[in-house]
Structure 1
Amino acid sequence: MDEVIEKLKKVEGITSKTAEKILIDIIESKEKLNIIKDVLKTIDENFDNCPICNFYTINKKCSFCDNETRNKDQICVVTSKKEANKILKSDFRGMVHVLNGEINLNKNISPELIQLPKLFARISKDMEIILATNLTFNGEVTANYIINVIKENCKKISRLARGIPFGGSLDYIDEETLINAIENRRIIKK
């Protein structure tokens, strides 16, 4: 059992306790085992990585790259497929590029290891690049690196607005977030 639990823990989000619960649940129910087998077969046969944007494809179709209604002159750069999925579910009508990580010099993760060359190959003079990297040290390093490389090769570079989240209270907001919220405020009446 320990060997199976260790293998299950390699899936992001599955802890030792969760892996043990899953294992016991599947052992106790052949029906659930068959459901898991069916799901894994579906994933194996129908899902893959998009060779252009690094999002996933279903039956060789990417929800971004193979959708003719999307604005090809806007690329939103994100660090993970999970974030790209959030972009897909939003009202954003442009394209996406998934980096599959961030530059991290401490872990020897260089620009070449996170799909940046693929991004740079997609950029043209008519495009807007929207940087949606995380607001962390590595996210900022990644965004700044991208800006320095592409600033002469595209029409516009923008960054997602930063500030107070919906439902947030000023009492619990750190100083940096408050400053960003003030600087990125939206004008209601001019």
Structure 2
Amino acid sequence: MDDLLDKLKEIDGITNKIGEKFLINLIENLDKFNLLNEILQELKENYKNCEICNFYKMNNTCVFCDNNKRDQNLVCVLTSKREARKLLNSEYRGIVHILRGEINLNKNISPDTIQIDKLFARINKDTEVLLATNLTFNGEVTANYIISVIKDKCKKITRLARGIPFGGSLDYIDEETLINAIENRKIIKK
């Protein structure tokens, strides 16, 4: 069992506890093997990584790159496919570019490691780049690096607004978040 757990933990997101729960569930419900096989076969046959944006293609079609209804001049830069899926379910109508992580010099993750050059190749004078990297130190380093390289190569660079989340209370908001919320306030009436 420990060997199987170690192999499962090689998959991102599977912890010891989740892996153990998964394996025990399969042992107790042997009929779920067929379901698992179906899922794995479907993934193997119909899904692959999009060479352009790093999202995934289903049946050789990327919902971002191959959709001519999307604004090809608005590129949202994200760090993961999960974030892109969330964006897909929103009202965002541009395309995406998914970095494979963020720059982290302490872990030897450089711009080359996260395939940032593929992003630069997609940008031209008509492009607006919407930076949606995480609001962490590494996310800011990544965003600042991108800005430094593309500032003269695109029409506009924007960043997701920062501030108080819906349902948030001022009592629990840190000072930096409050300052960002004030700086990024929306005009209701002029």
Same structural fold, with TM-score higher than 0.5 when normalized by the shorter chain:
yes
Supply the AA of the counterpart residue of 1:86.
K
CA–CA separation in structure 2 for the residues paired with 1:49 and 1:145:
25
Q: Deviations over 1:29-79 (max 9, x none)?
A: 221011111101111111111000000111110010010100001000001
Letter in 2 for 1:10: E
Name structure 2 gaps, 5 residues minimum: none
So what's the TM-score if we normalise by structure 1?
A: 0.98
Is residue 122 from structure 1 mapped to residue 140 from structure 2 by the alignment? no
Q: What amino acid sits opposite 1:57 in the alignment?
A: K
SS in 1 for 2:130: strand
Which residue identity lines up with residue 121 of structure 1 in the other structure? A
Bigger mean CA deviation after superposition, 101-110 or 10-19: 10-19
Which of the pair is proportionally richer in helix? Answer: 1
Q: Which SS does the other structure have where 1:111 is aligned?
A: coil
SS at 1:185's partner residue?
A: coil
Q: After TM superposition, list the pairs within 5 Å mapping 1:87-166 onto structure 2.
A: 87-166=87-166
Q: CA RMSD in A?
A: 0.9
**Structure 1: gaps (5+ residues):** none
Match for residue 55 of structure 2? Answer: 55
> Do the aligned residues in 2 keep the contact of 1:147 with 1:157 (CA within 8 Å)?
yes
Number of residue equivalences: 190
How far apart are the structure 2 equivalents of 1:82 and 1:21?
Answer: 23
Superposed displacement of residue 25, structure 1: 1.5
1:9-20 superposed matches below 5 A = 9-20=9-20
User: 2:99 and 2:20 mapped to 1: Cα distance?
Assistant: 32
Q: TM-score, structure 2 length as denominator?
A: 0.98
- Secondary structure of 1:7 counterpart: helix
- CA shift, 1:21, in A, is 1.8
Query: What secondary structure does 1:123 align onto?
Result: coil
The SS at the match of 1:176 is helix
Contact 1:27 1:33 in 2 (8 A): no
Matched residue SS, 1:114: coil
Identity %: 66
Mapped partners of 1:10, 1:167: distance in 2: 37
